[in-house]
C-alpha cells in the first residue's frame, strides 16, 4: 500500500473536479448543503494546479471522470442511468461514458488480437473495422471471419488497463481505511469490504475468458426467455484480452428518438427490461450486473439484445428468497412482514425494535404507491433510506452490492424509456410467480428432497464419522479423566436416528 501515492491520487481527484469545473456540477446535482460546498472548495481550490486538465471539448463532469481514469468512469456510468437523482442534463452528459469514450488506434487493437490469438489478424478476419464503441475497459470492432464470412464483434482490452485500475483501486483502499479509522459512524457501511468486492468485480472484467464463460452460462439460462437475445460466443477466436461474439444489429436502448422512429413501444421495453432482470436474479440467481443503456440494444423484431458480460451477479437461493419476500412485502404494502424478513435474515441488529423499523419502511413505501414515477424524487428517497439504515445500525451486505446496484441502474433504464412506469406493477408478476414456486408448499417439499439427497450421499460415511468422534473422545478422556461422558448418549441416539432416516430416505428415493 503506497501511502504517499494514494494521498496524492485522492487530492488530485478533488483538484481535477475543481479544475474542470465539475465540482459545482456534482454538488448541484446532489443538492449539497452550503457547509459541504464550502468544505469541498476549500480542500480542492489550493491544489487546483495538480488536477488533470482533461478534454476541454467535453462537458465538465464527463471531462473530469474521463481524465481521472476507468474506475471513475465506472461510477459515472451508474450515475448516467439516474436522471431522477443527478438531473437530466448531467445524466445526458455522462451517457457518453457508456460506449463513446476516446478509442485507441485500430493498429494497436490488431496487434493485441494477433498476440492473444497467436495468429496474424488477416488469417482470422478478412475485415477489421475502426473502433465502433469504446468504454472504460475495452473497445469493440466489427470484423468478418475469414473462414465463414460471418460478421462478429471483437472486444479488445485497453492497453495498460490492468495497471490503471490497480492504481485507482489502491487509492480506494487507502480512502476506505481512512474512513474506517476516522469516521467510526461509517464503519457499518464496511468500506473496506465494499472496495474488496469492487476489486474482485474489476479483476473478473479484466480477463475476457471469464467474460466468455459468463456469456455462455447466461445464454444457457435465458435461451427460452421471450423477447431477449444474446450474441453467441466465438470460443475459437477469444482469449484473455480478446473476446469475439456474434454480431447483433439493433437500435441503442439509450436513443429514444431512434427507438420511436423504428416503431418500438418504449413502455413495453421499459417494463421488459425490469422484468427480465428480476427473472434472471430470482429464477436463476445469475444476472447481468451492468445493464445500462450502452450494453443494451433493440432488435428489429423488438427483442432486447444484451452484451458486455464482464460484470455478472450471483446470489444463492436463500438470498433470493429473502430478496423476493422483501419485494413482495413492499408490493403488498405489508411493511411488518418486510421488517420481520430483515430481522430474520440478520440485516438489522436483533436489539432494534421491529415495529419501529416497519413504520420507517412505511414512510419509504407509501409515498411511492399510486404516484406517477415522474413525480417521485429518487434523490430524496435514497437520502431517507440512508437515514433509515443509519438509525437502525444496518451494515452493508457485500453479497447484495451488485444486486442493489443493478436494481438502481435497471430502474433508471426503465424510467428513461417510460418516465411514467409503475415499478411495482411491472415487478409484481415476476415476484409473485417466484414466491409461489420458491416459498410455498412446493418449495418446502423441494427443500426436504434436496436435504434427503445430501444426507443419502453422506449416509455411508456416518459410521466412520461416529467412530472417529468416539475415538477422539476416549483419547480426550484418558488425557483428562474428569471430562464428562454425558454427551455420548444423545450423540449415539442422534447418530442412530440419523442413520435410520438416511436409510429410509435412500429407499424412498
Tens digit of pLDDT at every position of the chain (509 positions): 455 667 777 778 878 888 888 888 777 766 666 776 776 777 677 777 778 888 888 888 888 888 887 778 877 776 776 665 667 777 777 777 766 778 899 999 999 999 999 999 999 999 999 999 888 788 999 999 999 999 999 999 998 888 888 877 887 787 777 767 766 655 655 677 767 777 777 777 889 999 999 999 999 999 999 999 999 999 999 999 999 999 989 999 989 999 999 999 999 999 999 999 999 998 999 999 888 888 899 999 999 999 889 888 888 888 888 888 888 888 888 889 988 988 888 888 888 999 998 998 888 777 766 565 566 555 555 556 666 777 787 766 666 767 777 887 888 889 889 988 887 788 888 888 888 887 666 666 665 666 666 666 666 776 777 778 777 777 766 666 554 444 333 333 333 333 333 332 333 33
Strand-pair partners of 252: 297
CB 432 within 8 A of CB 282: no
CB 356 within 8 A of CB 340: no
Q: How far apart are CA 277 and CA 188, in angstroms?
A: 28
Q: How far apart are CA 465 and CA 427, in angstroms?
A: 48
Sign, CA torsion 89/290/439/317: negative
DSSP string, 449-477: HHHHHHHHHHGGGHHHHHHHHHHHHHHHH
Minimal CA–CA distance to 506: which of 465, 452, 466, 448? 452
Cα–Cα–Cα angle for 18, 21, 26, nearest 5°? 85
- Tell me which DSSP letter residue 118 carries: T
Q: Where are the alpha helices (DSSP H) in 20-80?
A: 22-29, 34-44, 60-68, 70-80
Please give the helix or strand (H or E) that residue 435 lies within, else none. helix 423-438
| Whole-number pLDDT of residue 124 | 94
Pairing of strands 138-145, 151-157: antiparallel
CB 26 within 8 A of CB 55: no
Please give the helix or strand (H or E) that residue 152 lies within, else none. strand 151-157
| Whole-number pLDDT of residue 370 | 59
Strand-pair partners of 99: none
User: Helix, strand, coil % (nearest 5) of the chain?
Assistant: 65, 10, 25
Q: Is 479 exposed, middle or buried (0-12, 13-18, 19+ CB in 10 A)?
A: exposed
The residue written with cell numbers 452528459 in the block is 93
Q: How far apart are CA 338 and CA 52, in angstroms?
A: 47
CB 503 within 8 A of CB 452: no
Q: How far apart are CA 78 and CA 97, in angstroms?
A: 10
Minimal CA–CA distance to 159: which of 123, 125, 116, 118? 116
Q: What is the largest CA-CA distance in the chain?
A: 87
Sign, CA torsion 159/164/166/169: negative
> Is 308 designated active site?
no
The catalytically annotated residue of 199, 290, 303, 308 is 290
| Whole-number pLDDT of residue 485 | 43
Cα radius of gyration (the chain): 27
Q: Is 30 exposed, middle or buried (0-12, 13-18, 19+ CB in 10 A)?
A: middle
E-only strand ranges, 173-278 = 228-229, 242-246, 251-252
Domain boundaries, the chain: 3-97, 162-203, 249-439, 445-508
Q: How far apart are CA 132 and CA 26, in angstroms?
A: 29
Amino acid at each position: 500500500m503506497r501511502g504517499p501515492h494514494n494521498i496524492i491520487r485522492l487530492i488530485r481527484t478533488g483538484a481535477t473536479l475543481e479544475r474542470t469545473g465539475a465540482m459545482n456540477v456534482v454538488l448541484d446535482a446532489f443538492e449539497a448543503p452550503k457547509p459541504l460546498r464550502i468544505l469541498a472548495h476549500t480542500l480542492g481550490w489550493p491544489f487546483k494546479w495538480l488536477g488533470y486538465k482533461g478534454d476541454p471539448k467535453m462537458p465538465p463532469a464527463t471531462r473530469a471522470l474521463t481524465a481521472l481514469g476507468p474506475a471513475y468512469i465506472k461510477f459515472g456510468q451508474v450515475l448516467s442511468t439516474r436522471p431522477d437523482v443527478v438531473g437530466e442534463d448531467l445524466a445526458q452528459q455522462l451517457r457518453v461514458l457508456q460506449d463513446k469514450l476516446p478509442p485507441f488506434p485500430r493498429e494497436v487493437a490488431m496487434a493485441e488480437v494477433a498476440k492473444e490469438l497467436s495468429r496474424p489478424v488477416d488469417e482470422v478476419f478478412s475485415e477489421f473495422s475502426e473502433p465502433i464503441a469504446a468504454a472504460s475497459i475495452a473497445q469493440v470492432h466489427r470484423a468478418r471471419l475469414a473462414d465463414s464470412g460471418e460478421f462478429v464483434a471483437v472486444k479488445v482490452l485497453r492497453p495498460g488497463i490492468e495497471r490503471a485500475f490497480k492504481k485507482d483501486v489502491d487509492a480506494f483502499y487507502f480512502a476506505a481505511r481512512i474512513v474506517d479509522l476516522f469516521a467510526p459512524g461509517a464503519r457499518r457501511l464496511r468500506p473496506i469490504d465494499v472496495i474488496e468486492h469492487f476489486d474482485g468485480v474489476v479483476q473478473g472484467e479484466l480477463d475476457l475468458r471469464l467474460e466468455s464463460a459468463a456469456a455462455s452460462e447466461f445464454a444457457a439460462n435465458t435461451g427460452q426467455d421471450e423477447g431477449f437475445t444474446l450474441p453467441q460466443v466465438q470460443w475459437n477466436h477469444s482469449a484473455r484480452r480478446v473476446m469475439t461474439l456474434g454480431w447483433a444489429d439493433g437500435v441503442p436502448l439509450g436513443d429514444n428518438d431512434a427507438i420511436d422512429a423504428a416503431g418500438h413501444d418504449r413502455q413495453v421495453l421499459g417494463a421488459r427490461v425490469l422484468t427480465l432482470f428480476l427473472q434472471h436474479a430470482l429464477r436463476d440467481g445469475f444476472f447481468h450486473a451492468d445493464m445500462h443503456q450502452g450494453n443494451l440494444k433493440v432488435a428489429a423484431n423488438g427483442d432486447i439484445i444484451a452484451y458486455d458480460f464482464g460484470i455478472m451477479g450471483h446470489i444463492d437461493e436463500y438470498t433470493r428468497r429473502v430478496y423476493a419476500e422483501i419485494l413482495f412485502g413492499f408490493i403488498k404494502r405489508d411493511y411488518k412482514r418486510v421488517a420481520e424478513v430483515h430481522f430474520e435474515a440478520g440485516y438489522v441488529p436483533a436489539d432494534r425494535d421491529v415495529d419501529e423499523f416497519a413504520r420507517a419502511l412505511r414512510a419509504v413505501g407509501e409515498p411511492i404507491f399510486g404516484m406517477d414515477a415522474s413525480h417521485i424524487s429518487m434523490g430524496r428517497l435514497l437520502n431517507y433510506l440512508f437515514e433509515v439504515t443509519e438509525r437502525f445500525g444496518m451494515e452493508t451486505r457485500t453479497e447484495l452490492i451488485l444486486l442493489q446496484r443493478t436494481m438502481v441502474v435497471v430502474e433508471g433504464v426503465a424510467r428513461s424509456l417510460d418516465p411514467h412506469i409503475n415499478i411495482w406493477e411491472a415487478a409484481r408478476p415476476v415476484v409473485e410467480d417466484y414466491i409461489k414456486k420458491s416459498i410455498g408448499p412446493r418449495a418446502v417439499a423441494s427443500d426436504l428432497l434436496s436435504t434427503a439427497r445430501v444426507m443419502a450421499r453422506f449416509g455411508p460415511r456416518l459410521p466412520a464419522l461416529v467412530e472417529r468422534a468416539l475415538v477422539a473422545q476416549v483419547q480426550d478422556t484418558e488425557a483428562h479423566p474428569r471430562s464428562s461422558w454425558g454427551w455420548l448418549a444423545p450423540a449415539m441416539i442422534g447418530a442412530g436416528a440419523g442413520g435410520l432416516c438416511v436409510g429410509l430416505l435412500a429407499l424412498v428415493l
